[in-house]
Amino acid sequence: MAKVDLYDPKWVDMVFAHRNQAYGAYKLRKGTTGRNIKSLLILVIAAALVGGFLAWKVISQKNAEAQQAYMEAMQLAKLQQEAKKHEKKEVVQPKVQPKKEIPVARETQKFVAPVIRKDELVKESNTLKQMDQLDDKVAVGTETHEGTKDRTIEAVRNDIAVNTPPPAPKEEVTQKVFEVVEVMPSFPGGQAALLQYLNSHVKYPVVAQENGIQGRVTISFVVERDGSITDVRVARPVDPSLDREAARVVSSMPRWTPGKQNGAAVRVKFNVPVQFKLQ
């Protein structure tokens, strides 16, 4: 038996040969091929529209996330600029005593020209006594001692310390918290890595979601000299649940690269905005 193509309308004529073709079934079967083609076209068009809409939705969401990350980075940079404008830059100069030059003293003897006078004009105290006329208290040494051949003598003063190392920084300077320093502290990987860390670790509180609460919480903290995070506080609150979550995420951050002042690591206060936005 030959195969019959169901999409070919000729099979309908074969089935309804020598029969009443005015019957509704004949017309219904006759239009089956056209209806199948229309249905297939409609299905393809609908699938293309749905696929295009989903692709547009994904691209729009990615663009929105990139725009949000850019705006947060700009907001963070703006906060840092405002801090630099309102705070005076303080420079701590190490107290190093300048090296003092030690004067060189040279032994000198004044030469007095001899004067010839008459014996009656010379005082007895200025006359050279004979050995037998010396007082018993004057002792004459029996040993020969060499004098100083080099007459250049370095005068050393007790009040000058030579090659004294600079004093250690005071405790009050090491514990001071700066707001603006020469080299500001930074998150490992930069601002983009910081925003990515915050977005991936923030868990939106359920209470805030149910009440439709959103906003930006600003957290202040201190970057210690070893890069650790301490003294985490809420600088600009929005909602208690959002404030607690933002403080938790900031407290869990890894060690930062500490700030430096005059080449030494110091404690620096830093502000970070944490964004909460309902989708």
The predicted-structure confidence for 87-144, as pLDDT tens digits, reads as follows 655 555 666 666 666 655 555 555 556 666 666 666 666 665 665 665 555 555 556 6
More confident residue, 155 or 52: 52
Q: How far, in Å, CA of 198 to CA of 200, rounded?
A: 6
pLDDT at 270 over 70: yes
| 257: phi then psi, degrees, rounded to nearest 5 | -80, 115
- Structure tokens belonging to residue 76: 């963070």
Is the pLDDT score of 156 beyond 50?
no
Q: For residues 253 and 270, what is the distance between their CA atoms, to the nearest angstrom?
A: 13
Give tens-digit pLDDT for 184-236. 999 999 889 999 999 899 999 999 988 999 999 999 999 999 999 999 999 99
| Domain-wise residue ranges, the chain | 169-276
What would the two tokens of residue 27 be?
């017309």
Q: What is the DSSP letter of 223?
A: E
What is the pLDDT at residue 186?
92
Calpha distance 104→152 (Å, rounded): 7
- Specify the fold of 169-276: TolA/TonB C-terminal domain (3.30.2420)
Average pLDDT across the chain, whole number: 76
Contacts of 211 (CB under 8 A, 6+ apart): none
SS3 119: helix
DSSP β-bridge partners for residue 273: 218
**For residue 157, pLDDT beyond 50:** no
Residue 72: per-residue pLDDT: 82
Residue 84: how many CA atoms within 13 Å on its side-chain side? 10
Which has more confidence, 187 or 26? Answer: 187
pLDDT in tens, 39-91: 888 999 999 999 899 999 889 888 888 888 888 888 887 777 777 776 655 55
Q: How many whole angstroms separate alpha carbon 81 and alpha carbon 75?
A: 10
Structure confidence at residue 160 (pLDDT): 46
